[in-house]
């Protein structure tokens, strides 16, 4: 056990998170339970940080965002700021038109003075106040934090682009100022000014330079007793430049190559090139979720140190719904709706299963990578005549995911491009038989062919369709596989997770 502070560094935590953020959030929570100091550190400005952290079941005390830190608003609590009592306007002279739930208009003698947008999923809480000049042009935007304070102000150029953004402390003083100029033909930040931070000014050329300064400040405040972990490839460089910590590590959550057919020497994802081709010397160890990925990377980069840590941890439920408490013939696909996750393969599979079981249904839960992709996917559902069979649910928070897992009979993973398969581990804990496309980095510890599910080859799925039908139709088969999944889930519980991590921390760190 170590007293060092673990700073897990990411870009952000989002309204819609990918496995990277989920895995990181779970780890932070587990560390908290295990008494290991750990923080979720983020770079990006996020006015919805408190909401998004809550959606990931993260205590705000374990989240350190760079902007929040410099704004001095880390401990600010939620306060409801209704647009009806904003001090920006004089309601004795201005009219408020609130006929739209998403925004209100402030009017003075019939002229629009400002447009106030409403925080998503709230009734009348202030999101932005966009001021208009006498001809209705936008001049200034005030951006409010989810917690109900004015967080930043944008000034617009004469043609309506952001010219300068000032980030404010609670007293309304600008503590960070970002000026925009045209560079390479587009308007973008060209100078970052940190003002009177501990009585001194600082200038930075980029957000990442500021981020590096910020990380160094966090390290300094912990007297250097810090393990610094890079969680996303977009922050590798900033993390690699930090100074004074005891250890520096990167964690991978994804496959590092573009295809899974030419491993281990395949083409790297663009995002991974910097890490493996330039930055590896800066990192003491690079951690991956599976032994096989470790072996592939180790053979490719023999000088670098690679190790395996659990990608995820699950809480084993006290009670798992029995087969007859679930929707008969209901299949679940968890994950982002996007091309690399291959949800259309799940549709192909569904079409084949329907030949045996006309009442089969399939639920997709996840956020679409783009509106275009969603439209294209829906069109494909219609083309395959699966309109009655397919349900697309919204991205769900932890509770909604659990509910979806409890109503399904089988969890399907159509992607053959997983670094581990976090959602499959969720399926284990939910006692579900698992059907996955063959994945190089998903170990048998998660899906063992014929024991707790099946590993499918490419179309036409190596004759597995009748076997899947059997799981759905035969209570005994389902029961056997469900038990097998629950048994495998134990390997991913907090105790095992803690044992591995504590070894890693004690050994290496």
Partner 1 sequence: MLFHINATMPAHKSGIEHAELKRIKLFAQKQVPQRLVLREWDPKLHLQLQKEALPDALVLNMFDFYQRATMVPWCKVTARDLDFGETPLIWQIEPEQQRWLISNQADELIARVHYYPDDQQVRLVEWFDTQQNLYKAEYYDWRGFPSMIQWYTANNQVSGETWLDVKGHPVIENYRKYTMGNPGNLEPTHWQLQTENQQFQFDTLDELTAHFLNQINHEFWSAKTPNIFILDRAHLGDAALLNLDWPAYTVLHLHNAQTSNAQEPLTAPLNQHYEYALHNLDRYNAVVSATPQQTRDLQTRFHPKSKLWTIPVGIVNQRLSEQPRIPVAQRQYGKIVAFARIAPEKQLVDLVRAVGLAHQQNAAVSLDLYGYADPTDQYRARREIEAVIQDQHLEQVVQLKGYTDQIDAIEHQAMLYGLTSRMEGFNLALLEGISHGLIGVTYDVNYGPNEIIQDDWNGRVVAYQDYEALAQAILDILADPQLAQRYSTGAYESAQRYSEEQIYQDWEALFQDAAAFWAELPEGKDK
Question: What number of other Cβ atoms are within 10 A of residue 226's Cβ?
Answer: 24
Of the two residues 196 and 470, which places its CB atom closer to partner 1 in the complex? 196
CA atoms within 13 A on the CB side of 349: 33
Contacts with partner 1, 202-231, as mask; x by CB under 8 A: xx-x--------------------------
Which residue stretch of 182-190, 214-222, 246-254, 298-306 sits at the interface with partner 1 (rule: CB under 8 A)?
182-190
Q: Which of 140, 237, 307, 323 binds partner 1 (CB under 8 A)?
A: 140
Which residue stretch of 54-62, 175-183, 414-422, 428-436 sits at the interface with partner 1 (rule: CB under 8 A)?
175-183
The enclosing H or E element of 300 equals helix 291-300
Q: Is residue 460 reached through a cis peptide bond, with omega within 30 degrees of 0 on the bond before it?
A: yes
Q: Which of 171, 319, 371, 476 binds partner 1 (CB under 8 A)?
A: 171
CB of 223 to partner 1, least distance (A): 24
Of the two residues 146 and 192, which places its CB atom closer to partner 1 in the complex? 192
Contact assessment for residue 329 and residue 481, using Cβ atoms and an 8 Å cutoff: no
User: Count of residues binding partner 1 (CB under 8 A)?
Assistant: 42
CB of 191 to partner 1, least distance (A): 4
Cα separation of 397 and 58, whole Å? Answer: 12
For position 497 contacting partner 1 by CB under 8 A, the verdict is no
Main-chain phi, psi angles of 256, to 5 degrees: -95, -10
Q: Which two tokens stand for residue 133?
A: 């000049």
Instruction: Report 91-120 residues binding partner 1 (CB under 8 A).
Output: 108, 113-114
CB of 195 to partner 1, least distance (A): 8
For position 183 contacting partner 1 by CB under 8 A, the verdict is yes
CB of 109 to partner 1, least distance (A): 11
Contact assessment for residue 288 and residue 419, using Cβ atoms and an 8 Å cutoff: yes
Kindly provide the b/e burial profile for residues 497-508, where b requires at least 16 CB atoms within 10 angstroms of the residue's own CB: bbeebeebbeee
CB of 138 to partner 1, least distance (A): 9
CB of 163 to partner 1, least distance (A): 6
Of the two residues 15 and 181, which places its CB atom closer to partner 1 in the complex? 181
Q: Which of 99, 201, 261, 318 binds partner 1 (CB under 8 A)?
A: 201
Q: Which of 37, 72, 124, 174 binds partner 1 (CB under 8 A)?
A: 174
Which residue stretch of 7-15, 96-104, 132-140, 302-310 sits at the interface with partner 1 (rule: CB under 8 A)?
132-140
For position 323 contacting partner 1 by CB under 8 A, the verdict is no
CB of 142 to partner 1, least distance (A): 9
Q: Which of 34, 54, 105, 193 binds partner 1 (CB under 8 A)?
A: 193
Of the two residues 187 and 216, which places its CB atom closer to partner 1 in the complex? 187
Cα separation of 117 and 188, whole Å? Answer: 24
For position 137 contacting partner 1 by CB under 8 A, the verdict is yes
CB of 89 to partner 1, least distance (A): 7
CB of 148 to partner 1, least distance (A): 17
Cα separation of 297 and 349, whole Å? Answer: 32
Which residue stretch of 201-209, 296-304, 479-487, 494-502 sits at the interface with partner 1 (rule: CB under 8 A)?
201-209
Q: Which of 3, 121, 135, 270 binds partner 1 (CB under 8 A)?
A: 135
Contacts with partner 1, 144-163, as mask; x by CB under 8 A: -----------xxxx----x
Question: What number of other Cβ atoms are within 10 A of residue 458's Cβ?
Answer: 10
Pairs from 437-445 (Cβ < 8 Å, separation ≥ 24): 437/342, 437/345, 437/413, 439/260, 439/413, 439/415, 440/255, 440/260, 440/263, 440/292, 440/293, 441/255, 441/289, 441/290, 441/292, 441/293, 442/290, 442/413, 442/418, 443/290, 443/291, 443/292, 445/488, 445/491
CB of 47 to partner 1, least distance (A): 19
For position 303 contacting partner 1 by CB under 8 A, the verdict is no
Where are the alpha helices (H) located in 398-474, listed in sequence order?
398-407, 422-429, 465-473
Q: Which of 191, 258, 494, 504 binds partner 1 (CB under 8 A)?
A: 191
Q: Which of 15, 170, 181, 500 binds partner 1 (CB under 8 A)?
A: 181
* Three-state secondary-structure class, residue 194: strand
Pairs from 492-500 (Cβ < 8 Å, separation ≥ 24): 492/310, 492/312, 492/313, 492/314, 492/425, 492/428, 492/429, 493/313, 493/314, 493/315, 493/316, 494/30, 494/33, 494/34, 494/313, 494/315, 496/310, 497/30, 497/310, 497/313, 498/30, 498/34, 500/309, 500/310
CB of 127 to partner 1, least distance (A): 17
Cα separation of 171 and 149, whole Å? Answer: 10
Cα separation of 502 and 496, whole Å? Answer: 10
CB of 88 to partner 1, least distance (A): 4
Closest alpha carbon to 142 in 132, 133, 125, 154: 154
Interface contacts to partner 1, rule CB under 8 A:
87-90, 108, 113-114, 131-135, 137, 139-140, 155-158, 163-164, 166, 171-174, 179, 181-183, 187, 190-191, 193-196, 200-203, 205
């Amino acid at each position: 056990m170590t007293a060092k502070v673990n700073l897990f560094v990411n870009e952000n935590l989002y309204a819609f998170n990918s496995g990277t953020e989920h895995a990181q959030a779970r780890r932070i929570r587990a560390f908290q339970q295990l008494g290991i100091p750990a923080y979720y550190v983020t770079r990006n400005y996020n006015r919805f940080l408190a909401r998004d952290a809550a959606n990931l079941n993260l205590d705000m005390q374990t989240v350190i965002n760079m902007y929040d830190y410099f704004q001095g608003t880390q401990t600010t609590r939620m306060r409801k700021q209704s647009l009806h009592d904003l001090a920006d306007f004089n309601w004795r002279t201005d009219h408020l038109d609130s006929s739209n739930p998403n925004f209100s208009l402030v009017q003075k003698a019939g002229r629009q003075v400002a447009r106030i947008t409403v925080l998503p999923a709230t009734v009348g809480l202030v999101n932005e106040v966009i001021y208009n000049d006498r001809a209705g042009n936008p001049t200034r935007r005030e951006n409010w934090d989810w917690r109900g304070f004015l967080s930043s102000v944008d000034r617009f150029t004469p043609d309506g682009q952001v010219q300068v953004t000032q980030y404010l402390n609670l007293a309304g003083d600008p503590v960070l100022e970002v000026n925009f100029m045209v560079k390479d033909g587009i308007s973008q930040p060209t100078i970052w000014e940190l003002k009177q931070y501990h009585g001194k000014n600082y200038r930075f050329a980029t957000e990442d330079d500021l981020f590096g300064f910020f990380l160094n400040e966090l390290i300094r405040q912990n007297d250097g007793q810090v393990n610094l972990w890079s969680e996303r490839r977009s922050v590798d460089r900033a993390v690699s430049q930090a100074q004074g910590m005891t250890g520096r590590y990167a964690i991978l959550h994804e496959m590092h190559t573009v295809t899974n057919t030419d491993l281990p020497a395949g083409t790297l994802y663009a995002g991974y090139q910097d890490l493996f081709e330039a930055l590896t010397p800066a990192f003491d160890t690079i951690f991956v979720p599976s032994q096989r990925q470790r072996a592939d990377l180790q053979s490719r980069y023999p000088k670098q140190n690679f190790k395996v840590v659990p990608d995820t941890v699950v809480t084993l439920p006290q009670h798992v719904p029995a087969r007859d408490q679930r929707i008969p013939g209901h299949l679940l696909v968890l994950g982002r709706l996007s091309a690399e996750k291959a949800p259309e393969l799940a549709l192909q599979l569904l079409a084949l299963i329907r030949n045996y079981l006309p009442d089969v249904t399939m639920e997709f839960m996840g956020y679409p990578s783009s509106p275009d992709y969603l439209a294209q996917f829906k069109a494909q559902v219609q083309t395959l005549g699966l309109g009655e069979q397919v349900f697309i649910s919204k991205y769900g928070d932890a509770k909604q995911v659990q509910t979806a897992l409890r109503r399904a009979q089988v969890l399907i993973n159509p992607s053959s491009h997983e670094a581990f398969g976090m959602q499959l581990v969720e399926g284990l804990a939910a006692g579900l038989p698992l059907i996955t496309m063959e994945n190089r980095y998903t170990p048998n510890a998660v899906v063992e062919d014929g024991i707790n599910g099946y590993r499918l080859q490419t179309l036409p799925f190596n004759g597995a369709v009748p076997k899947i039908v059997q799981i759905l139709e035969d209570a005994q088969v389902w029961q056997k596989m469900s038990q097998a999944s629950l048994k495998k889930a134990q390997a991913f519980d907090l105790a095992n997770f803690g044992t591995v991590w504590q070894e890693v921390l004690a050994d290496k760190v």
